[in-house]
Every structure is written in structure tokens, then in C-alpha cells.
Amino acid sequence: MSKHMPQEKITSHNDVSEKILAEQIAKLPNKMTPERDLWSGIERAINHKAQEIPSQQQGNIFVPSAWAASVAMVMLVSWFTFSPSINEQGEPALVNTQAGSSVTQGQLVDFMQKNFQQQKQTLLVSYGQPTVDKLPPAMQKELKQLADARGSIRKALLTDENNADLLNLLDFTQQQELKLLQQLYRQYQVI
């Protein structure tokens, strides 16, 4: 970046000529010193922004899990509101997979629950048995919502154990809970 030196222009004695102006421009200092210390503010700002990033990442984790919990709850409520008898006509997807076997629906729910607990336990062991209460409150709330949704579905299945949609919903909710736990533990390693 060079400085531009214009051609000299003759002017009267006290007039500032192009040449004088060009000389003054060339003499301009390229440094000035601020009166106050600027670094402390910069340091604060970059540390503050560094803290913002993980919290934004937490937010990103919540989006799918919150969405999943909401979907589970909406489906559950819709089910009870609009389709009380559909299970008598429909063919459940998970039940289909069990067709021909001697496993009853009640046993299937137990099996799913045991399988879920086992996967959860394996996950916790692999991360050194962390405790959830050390997570930020927003995350705890998110996990609790998923667990509540799972509990509600299980409760509903106690009275309607042949309901295939509820079984699928339970499976979906369990998988979402495991996914969220895995993401959180991966991020925080030890909670």
C-alpha cells in the first residue's frame, strides 16, 4: 500500500501546495497510542465468546431431543384423544415382528424396558458412571421430559398392552433418550 504523491502545483506564498500536502501525508505517523488499556476489554470479550460456544452447542443438542420429546407427547395425547379403538383394528409393527411367537405384549414391554435399562447402564459405565445432577439445569429438564414421556407411554401400555402404536412410540422415546445421553456424555465426558 503506497502513498500517493501528487504533482506539485505552484501557489501563492502562504498557500498549502499539493507538494506540501503530500509531504505532510507522507509524514503522518502510522501508529497512535490509545489512552486507555484496550487489551483487558478484548480479553474479556474473547473469553466471554468462548463460553458462549459450548452453550450454543448444548442448545443444538436440545433441538432434536426437545423435538423428540414433544413429538412423543403429542402422539400420546393424540392417541388418547382421537383413536381409542384403533388398536383393535390395526396391526402393530413391533407386534408383527413378534407374530407367531409365544411372547405376549406385556412381556414385550418388559423386554423393551429391560433392554433399554441395559443399554443405558452400558452407556453410563462406559463414561464412568456419571451423575445427571451435575448437568446444567436445562439439560436435566430435557432428560426428565424424555423420561416422563417414556413413563407415560409405559403407563398407557399397562392398560392397553396390545397397542402397537404405543409400543413403537415407547421404542422411539427410549432411543431418543439414549441418543441424548450419549451426546451429553460425549461432550462432557464426566458429568
Partner 1 sequence: MDSQINKTTKVIDGQALFSASNRHTADDSEQAWIAQAKQGSQSAFYQLYEKHHRQIYALCWRMLADKDSAEDVCQEVFVVLWQKINNFRGESKFSTWLHSVATNVVLGHLRKHKNWLQRVFSIEDQGPSLAEPSTGLIDDSTLTILDQHIARLPERARLVFVLFAVEGYRHEEISNMLKMAVGSSKSQYHRARSLLKESLTASDFISIDEELTNE
Q: Which residues bind partner 1 (CB under 8 A)?
A: 1-4, 6, 13-18, 20-21, 24-25, 27-36, 38-43, 45-46, 49
Residue (21 or 103) nearer to partner 1, CB: 21
Write the Ramachandran bin of 150: left for phi over 0, alpha for psi from -120 to 50, otherwise beta: alpha
Shortest gap between Cβ of 173 and partner 1 (angstroms)? 39
Helix H or strand E encompassing 160: none
> Looking only at Cα atoms, what is the longest distance across the chain?
113
C-alpha grid cell for residue 187? 461432550
Residue (12 or 102) nearer to partner 1, CB: 12
C-alpha grid cell for residue 165? 402404536
Residue (33 or 89) nearer to partner 1, CB: 33
Residue (25 or 190) nearer to partner 1, CB: 25
Shortest gap between Cβ of 34 and partner 1 (angstroms)? 5
Residue (41 or 59) nearer to partner 1, CB: 41
**Residue 135 gets which letter from DSSP?**
S
Is residue 123 within 8 A of residue 45, CB to CB? The reply is no
Is residue 182 within 8 A of residue 85, CB to CB? The reply is no
CB atoms within 10 A of CB 180: 21
Shortest gap between Cβ of 56 and partner 1 (angstroms)? 13
Q: Which residue's entry shows cell 452447542?
A: 57
In residues, how long is the chain? 191
